[in-house]
Structure 1
Amino acid sequence: MKTKLKKGDQIQIIAGKDKGKQGRILKIDRMSARLIAEGLNIVKKTQRPKSQNDKGGIIELEAPITASNVMLLCRKCGPTRIAMKLDANKKSRICRKCGETL
């Protein structure tokens, strides 16, 4: 799936259990249109000990979230859609609300 989001972008979740929370994109899987964001969509997972000295237990980690459930955050106007602008053979992403370069 083609997406205009990039690693390191500030996003806000617009649907689901973490609706309204904000974070930064850590990883994007373009084939499945899912992404992992820092501190968002936290799930608990049981982990087995890998060695005799290692302890198992319940760990918390970020689970992937569908890219359609997030919006990019503009510094001026908050969550917004993204538009592309072509300036002298250079593409740039702009905010659809205020027109600021993202």
Structure 2
Amino acid sequence: MKGPSKTTKNNTKIKLKKGDLVQVISGSDKTKTGEIIAIIYKTNKVIVKGINLKVKHKKPQQEGETGEIIKFEAPIHTSNVMLFSEQNNIASRSSVIINDKGQKIRKLKKTGELIK
């Protein structure tokens, strides 16, 4: 049995992977960078560590408990993030090249840096 499909609802492929370093290019967290924690393929969104933080107030469930304020990362649409090169401090699109062994390797278009 195969794992989850890498395409979204409208059949666009997400070119980002878990663990990629990305920069937010629009919204309230513009220019912030972070690592992708999770990818939600159905909604075409990613969750980035430390970005798009939301606050949830949790009521106490039992007597004697105290309420909590929980901070968590909310999903961001993939069109609002871009791969980021830490060496050159620049955001870039990616392309796929095929090496001598026939393996596909991602690389940044602006810098030529290979992505793991």
Give the number of equivalent residue pairs.
Answer: 102
**What amino acid is the match of 1:83?**
S
Cα separation, 1, equivalents of 2:103 and 2:64: 54
Equivalent in the alignment of 2:76: 65
TM superposition score normalised by structure 1: 0.90
Equivalent in the alignment of 1:26: 37
Runs of 4 or more above 2 Å deviation: 48-55
Q: Deviations over 1:50-80 (max 9, x none)?
A: 4445422322111111111001112333211
Q: CA deviation at 1:99?
A: 1.3
Cα separation, 2, equivalents of 1:58 and 1:83: 42
Which consecutive residues of structure 2, in runs of 5 or more, have no partner in the other structure?
Answer: 1-7
RCO (CA 8 Å, sep 6+): is it higher in 1 or 2? 1
Give me the CA root mean square deviation.
1.4
Tell me which of 56, 64, 68 is aligned to 1:45: 56
Partner secondary structure for residue 83 of structure 2 = strand
CA shift in 2, pair 1:92/1:51, >3 Å? farther
Equivalent in the alignment of 1:89: 102
Which consecutive residues of structure 1, in runs of 5 or more, have no partner in the other structure?
Answer: none
1:3 matched to 2:14? The reply is yes
Partner secondary structure for residue 4 of structure 1 = coil
Q: Which structure shows the higher strand fraction?
A: 1
**What amino acid is the match of 1:99?**
G
Q: Deviations over 1:4-41 (max 9, x none)?
A: 11111111100001101111110101111111111100
Cα separation, 1, equivalents of 2:94 and 2:34: 17
**What amino acid is the match of 1:67?**
T
